[in-house]
């Protein structure tokens, strides 16, 4: 495997001639501002379910070197009940309290090498995150609420002043005060989870816009999202004064300009947010009949859709709506999207396809750690350096993904655009040496 220094030099050589075109023009009505030279946020999502099929325990964040290169870990996800409360429930489709804080983690998976005993107040992922923070005192851990599957009742929770107050209070009680429900065997209890989490990430997908079928959607979601942020900020500040600590508040925001306008009050929401992460992926996938890019920095020449999505389109969309550059974090994928049955020849891009490519966990989606093994096994790496994306093609199957060269190019864009940093979905897609996270850290290193 090439060293990180070699990867960095490769990336620099690949993009140095294009650095002017990579940097976006100043958004209409927004000043470019100085580039950030220090203090970049580096946020990675840790998935609750990654401990199963992907065999990705919290310990891997430490042994791979990822934890020392991140500023925040977002734990995905916390659920919202039908009556608008944060809750933990072991019922099918509702939660996984076993993974969260009940599972006795064996010594070989434990951050400090010490096995959990059955029934300890704080086992599972929460207990391991506490151990990870002890090893990395500067690391912040955020509880991410919602996500694609658990945004169903966000609208209900945000609907009225009373519902907002009750919702936020329940989240603080559960995750910050750490008053976890007592489970079989005894895990949980008053204060059991105190100190694990340093704030909340609101991952409402999406206010006043369709998400997963069955989500509650209302026209007033747009204003209520702002009001919900204000209530979180008010209660977090009050709780923080007691604890003599600042509790962070962040949000995950869409790449689609139509969803931006439908669900968010532009600059108003940033009054309450420490920063916001912007979706920089899933622009295209096997739901499309034609192969395309899923996470390009800029819209490629010859793209079949007009207008189309890209990372720069997403960031400029938020800048045009009043977002401050210094509070925008660009999301990058640690997975690729793929098609099979690709016809039309050439390099496979923008060609008809029969359907999703076979994959390890989900057809049409594959982790970077698997995709990185394909070059030399019948697949050729193709790049569009101006647009900032890469894809693999073997004549039949195409995967669009971010490799270290693309990731580094995006870090240069973040620096030149004066953004706040990079976000990763999700950490379990990286290899055992955290090569992508190391690339993020190298690209956003202070000077």
**pLDDT digits 0-9 by tens, 367-394:** 999 999 999 999 999 999 999 999 999 9
Active site residue 205: yes
283: its two tokens: 């622009």
Has residue 350 been placed in a domain? Answer: no
pLDDT at 441: 98
Calculate the alpha carbon distances from 265 to 110, 208, 259, 280, 322 in Å: 43, 12, 11, 20, 9
Has residue 226 been placed in a domain? Answer: yes
Has residue 80 been placed in a domain? Answer: yes
Lowest mean pLDDT among 175-184, 311-320, 353-362, 438-447: 438-447
Has residue 50 been placed in a domain? Answer: yes
CATH number of residue 75's parent domain: 3.20.20.80
Annotated catalytic residue: which of 94, 120, 161, 205? 205
Has residue 348 been placed in a domain? Answer: no
55-84 mean pLDDT = 97
Please check the confidence at residue 212 and state whether its pLDDT lies above 90. yes
Most confident of 20-29, 32-41, 87-96, 311-320: 311-320
Name the residue with higher pLDDT: 19 or 360.
Answer: 360
Interatomic CA distance for residues 206 and 217, integer angstroms: 8
pLDDT bin (cut points 50, 70, 90) of residue 90 is: low
Q: Do the strands 275-278 and 380-384 form a parallel or antiparallel pair, or are they unpaired?
A: unpaired
Angle separating helix axes 404-417 and 311-320, nearest 10 degrees: 20
Has residue 386 been placed in a domain? Answer: no
Interatomic CA distance for residues 145 and 75, integer angstroms: 9
Angle separating helix axes 4-15 and 435-443, nearest 10 degrees: 60
Number of domains in the chain: 1
Cα–Cα–Cα angle for 310, 72, 429, nearest 5°? Answer: 60
232-260 mean pLDDT = 98
Has residue 351 been placed in a domain? Answer: no
**pLDDT digits 0-9 by tens, 233-246:** 999 999 999 999 99
pLDDT at 4: 38
Has residue 209 been placed in a domain? Answer: yes
Query: What do you get for the CA distance between the two ends of the chain, in Å?
Result: 27
Please check the confidence at residue 7 and state whether its pLDDT lies above 70. no
pLDDT bin (cut points 50, 70, 90) of residue 92 is: low
pLDDT at 295: 98
Average per-residue pLDDT for the chain:
92
pLDDT at 394: 98
Could you list the residue range(s) of the whole structural domain that residue 153 is in? 4-25+32-333+407-443
pLDDT at 23: 35
């Amino acid at each position: 495997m090439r060293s990180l220094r070699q990867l960095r030099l490769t990336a620099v050589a690949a993009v140095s001639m294009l650095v002017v075109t990579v940097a976006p023009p100043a958004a209409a009505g927004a000043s470019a501002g100085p580039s950030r030279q220090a203090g970049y946020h580096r946020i990675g999502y840790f998935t609750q379910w990654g401990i199963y099929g992907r065999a990705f325990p919290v310990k891997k964040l430490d042994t791979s070197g990822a934890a020392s290169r991140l500023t925040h870990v977002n734990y995905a996800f916390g659920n919202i009940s039908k009556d608008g409360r944060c809750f933990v429930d072991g019922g099918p489709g509702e939660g996984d309290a076993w993974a969260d804080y009940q599972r006795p983690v064996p010594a070989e998976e434990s951050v400090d090498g010490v096995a959990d005993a059955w029934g300890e107040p704080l086992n599972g992922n929460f207990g391991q995150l506490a151990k990870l923070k002890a090893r990395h005192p500067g690391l912040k851990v955020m509880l991410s609420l919602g996500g694609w599957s658990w945004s169903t009742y966000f609208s209900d929770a945000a609907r009225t002043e009373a519902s907002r107050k009750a919702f936020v209070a329940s989240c603080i009680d559960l995750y910050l005060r750490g008053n976890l429900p007592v489970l079989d065997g005894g895990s949980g209890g008053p204060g059991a989870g105190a100190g694990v989490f340093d704030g909340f990430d609101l991952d409402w997908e999406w206010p006043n816009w369709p998400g997963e079928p069955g989500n509650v959607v209302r026209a007033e979601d747009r204003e209520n999202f702002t009001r919900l942020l204000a209530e979180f900020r008010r209660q977090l500040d009050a709780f923080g004064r007691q604890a003599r600590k600042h509790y962070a508040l962040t949000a995950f925001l869409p790449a689609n300009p139509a969803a931006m306008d439908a669900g968010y009050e532009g600059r108003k929401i940033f009054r309450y947010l420490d920063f916001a992460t912007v979706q920089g992926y899933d622009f295209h996938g096997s739901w499309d009949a034609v192969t395309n890019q899923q996470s390009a920095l800029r819209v490629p020449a010859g793209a079949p859709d007009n207008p189309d999505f890209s990372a720069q389109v997403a960031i400029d969309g938020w800048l045009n709506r009043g977002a401050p550059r210094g509070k925008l974090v660009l999301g990058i994928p640690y997975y690729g999207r793929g098609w099979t049955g690709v016809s039309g020849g050439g390099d496979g891009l923008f060609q008809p396809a029969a359907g999703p490519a076979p994959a390890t966990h989900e057809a049409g989606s594959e982790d970077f750690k698997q995709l990185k093994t394909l070059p030399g096994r019948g697949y050729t790496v193709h790049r569009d350096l101006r647009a900032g994306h890469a894809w693999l093609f073997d004549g039949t199957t195409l995967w669009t993904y971010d490799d270290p060269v693309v990731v580094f190019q995006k870090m240069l864009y973040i620096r030149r655009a004066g953004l706040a940093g990079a976000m990763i979905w999700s950490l379990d897609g990286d290899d055992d040496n955290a090569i992508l996270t190391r690339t993020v850290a190298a690209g956003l290193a202070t000077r």
